[in-house]
Amino acid sequence: MVTLGDGGVMTTADATFPGFPGGIHVPLVTPFAADGSVDAGALESLAHDLLDRGATGLVALGTTGEPAALDPAERRLVTDTAARVCRERSARLTVGVTTNDTRAAAEEIRALAALPSPCAALVPVPYFTRPTEDGVVAHYAHVTAAAPDVPVIVYNIPYRTGRTVGQATIRRLAALPGVAGIKQAVGAVDADTVALLADPPPGFAVLAGDDAFAPALLALGAAGGILASAHLATESYVRLLTAWRDGDMAHARALGGVLTGLATAAFAEPNPTVVKGVLHAQGRIPTAAVRLPLLPASPAAVEAAARHVHILADRAGSPALASLTRA
Ligand SMILES: O=C(O)C1=N[C@H](C(=O)O)C[C@H](O)C1
């Protein structure tokens, strides 16, 4: 903790990452009502619940929010709902900007700058087009210049985008004014990620973006994570990050192992189908519905993930996990 002159405190994360707070950010599912419409009331309750459980921030319209299956009015409803909750709770809002068109991304970010509450933008590496890495840098230079007050988080997810971005390019991106961090989701703990975390650019938040690798990235010093499975174990992810920051390695390793099991189960079928299935089974969203081309998760996958949530709760009493595992 860093003590301020007025006797207040701010977290180390705030001091270290001025553009974007570390911590656990939950990429919200978009709940659908029984008639198939977006259920804004359910989204609002879920958002409050996740912040009650200790999330630092919420992400609207991440991959987990099925943005490609929402029309513009629905996307606006989701953004406005999440923005209202984050404003009330003084939490960090991030909004996914899901386009591979540089001009359209710049337009979307300009629109975010006009929102009544401040937010960051989660901007994927331009997908499908497969530009050069120089093209990727030019893309982010253009979109950050469009709205300098909106911090941009680079979303590096090559298995979805088709474009690998190595650490040399990530360092060039980090040097751009307006780029505040990266959601690193490369499907591995690869050499580039290890090198990046060994010597992160000052003030640049490296966030774990692959649930199954999040415990490993946090162990290497990641500032936090944007993790769909944090819907199901918010407090445990927060405790995991805290344990690594506090150097409480025994607890962190034990908890990280259990959370890796949960994450693997939550991603056994396409995200967010399993997460929605468990949230519905827990009575936290009205239906488990997803929109095509996604199909609902199988009952077996939902049961398996729910079992991992129970394992977390059961192990809360074990010595290694005692203070860490209220799911
Ligand atoms: O919505 C997100 O942001 C996330 N999407 C990833 C994905 O679906 O590939 C998973 C991650 O947990 C968060």
Distance CA 23, CA 107 (A): 28
Q: Are strands 152-156 and 57-60 parallel, antiparallel or unpaired?
A: unpaired
264 labelled ligand-binding: no
Which amino acid is it at 115? L
Torsion over CA: 154, 159, 160, 166 (sign): positive
Q: What is the mean pLDDT of residues 28-51?
A: 98
Q: Does 207 map to a domain?
A: yes
Containing structural domain, residue 199: 15-246
What per-residue confidence (pLDDT) applies to 29? 98
Distance CA 267, CA 49 (A): 22
Q: Does 204 map to a domain?
A: yes
Q: Write the pLDDT tens digit of every residue in 95-144.
A: 999 899 999 999 999 999 988 788 999 999 999 999 999 999 999 999 99
Tell me the CATH number at 77: 3.20.20.70
**Marked catalytic residue, from 140, 155, 237, 276:** 155
pLDDT value at 17 more than 80? no
Distance CA 85, CA 78 (A): 11
Residue nearest to atom 5 of ligand 1 (CA): 63
Q: Model's pTM, two decimal places?
A: 0.92
Torsion over CA: 182, 17, 55, 188 (sign): positive
pLDDT value at 327 more than 90? no
Q: Write the pLDDT tens digit of every residue in 155-165.
A: 999 999 999 99
Q: Write the pLDDT tens digit of every residue in 168-207.
A: 999 999 999 999 999 999 999 999 999 999 999 999 999 9
What per-residue confidence (pLDDT) applies to 318? 56
- List C-alpha distances in Å: 144 to 137, 140, 169, 183, 216: 11, 6, 16, 16, 30
pLDDT value at 263 more than 90? yes
Q: Is 276 a catalytic residue?
A: no
182 labelled ligand-binding: no
- Secondary structure letter of residue 200 according to DSSP: P
The total of structural domains in the chain comes to 1
CA 131, 136, 138: angle at the middle one, nearest 5? 115
- Lowest mean pLDDT, pick from 38-52, 211-225, 232-246, 303-317: 303-317
Q: Does 21 map to a domain?
A: yes
Q: Does 299 map to a domain?
A: no
What mean pLDDT is reported for the chain? 92
Q: Does 321 map to a domain?
A: no
The ipTM of this complex is 0.95
pLDDT value at 274 more than 50? yes
Q: Does 101 map to a domain?
A: yes
What per-residue confidence (pLDDT) applies to 98? 87
Which amino acid is it at 259? L
User: What's the 3-state SS for 62-75?
Assistant: CHHHCHHHCCHHHH
Q: Does 73 map to a domain?
A: yes
Residue recorded with tokens 């299956």: 69
Q: What is the mean pLDDT of residues 262-282?
A: 98
Residue nearest to atom 3 of ligand 1 (CA): 62
If residue 157 lies in a helix (H) or strand (E), which one and from where to where?
none
Q: Does 107 map to a domain?
A: yes
Q: Write the pLDDT tens digit of every residue in 54-101.
A: 999 999 999 999 999 999 999 999 999 999 999 999 999 999 998 999
